[in-house]
Amino acid sequence: MADITRRLGWRHLRGAPTAHIRHHRGGRLLHDGPGLSFWFRALTAALSEVPVDDRELAMTFHARTSDFQDVAVQATVTYRISDPATAASRLDFSIDPDTGAWRGTPLEQLGTLLTETAQQHALDVLARTPLSSALVDGVKAVRERIAAGLAAEPRLPATGIEVVAVRVVALRPEPEVERALRTPAREQIQQEADRATYERRAVAVERERAIAENELASQIELARREEQLVDQRGTNARREAEEHAAADAVRAQAEAARTVRLAEAEATRSVRLARAEAEGAREVGEARAQAQAAWLRVHAEVDVATLHALTGTRLAENLPRIDSVTVSPDVLTGLLARLGTQEPA
């Protein structure tokens, strides 16, 4: 919408770069172009504003296929006004000189023209297409047919309209039909999912079986090696026992030989010792006999008093220690009498 300001009976218009402004006064064209800015009088000016930017027109309509099924078509048409002068002459793009708003609804008229034209071509192509084919390839076919139909429509160039692009967003059947069509596909997808699940489980079971077989084979191998280890340990123990027995036998023989040698040496030493002891005993006996004989010879030549004195001395040597001696009068009398009777030497 153009921006219009008022100053002392005059009006100033400032248009946008995407709006084509046409200014007539008295049947003469004074200003013509996009993005204009000028002063004018409201009583004598005839103004029109034609948008020249690309515009999107969304449309939704229903059609029927060759097998009598209703479908909803959602499409978008991009267009622009390529000839503003022609469009302004065919449609009412005039604006109010005080507010800048359109007096009519030119864009709605363009939308109706484009929607009806596109709907006509879409209905034509869908009426000869069954529902299954329409759902599979209908979007492309409808888009191409609408684009070709709009390009061949003579009213659009005559109105200054250029179609830039056509897009078909969706082509949907009725909810009940769509639900019925989805059921086989869903069941097939579910079957594929179940098959994949079963295959995955089968693969998992197979892997578990392989793992179990590997573990069992490992256990068998370990048991076999343990058996070999036990046999080897038994062989080693037997060899060790045999070696120990042989060593013990050797030690026993050596010990027996050593014992025999020791016994022989001990016997020899005993014999020698016995001979030496016998010789010593003989020599001691002879010496004792000679000493006894000499002692007897000596005592044979000594008088009786001396023998008595020696006997007392020997007796005193062998008696225990006497701390005190008690001499009775009888003993003292006898001793004195005996001493008195001895002859003086």
The mean pLDDT value for 300-317 works out to 68
3-state secondary structure of 269: helix
Question: Do you know the residue count of the chain?
Answer: 345
Instruction: Give the residue carrying structure tokens 């068998």.
Output: 220
Between residues 340 and 201, which one has the greater pLDDT? 201
Residue 113 backbone zone (phi > 0: left; psi -120 to 50: alpha; other: beta): alpha
- Give the mean pLDDT of 323-333: 67
Nearest 5°: the CA angle 97, 84, 39 is 30
Residue 137's pLDDT band (boundaries 50, 70, 90)? Answer: confident
> Quick one: pLDDT at residue 148?
92
- H/E stretch holding 304 reads helix 304-318
Q: How many CA atoms lie within 13 A of 163 on its CB side?
A: 27
Query: Cα(240)–Cα(244) distance, rounded to whole angstroms?
Result: 6
Predicted TM-score (pTM) above 0.75: no
pLDDT in tens, 83-110: 999 999 899 899 998 888 999 899 999 9
Mean pLDDT of the chain: 85
Confidence of residue 299 (pLDDT cuts 50, 70, 90): low
pLDDT of residue 307: 65
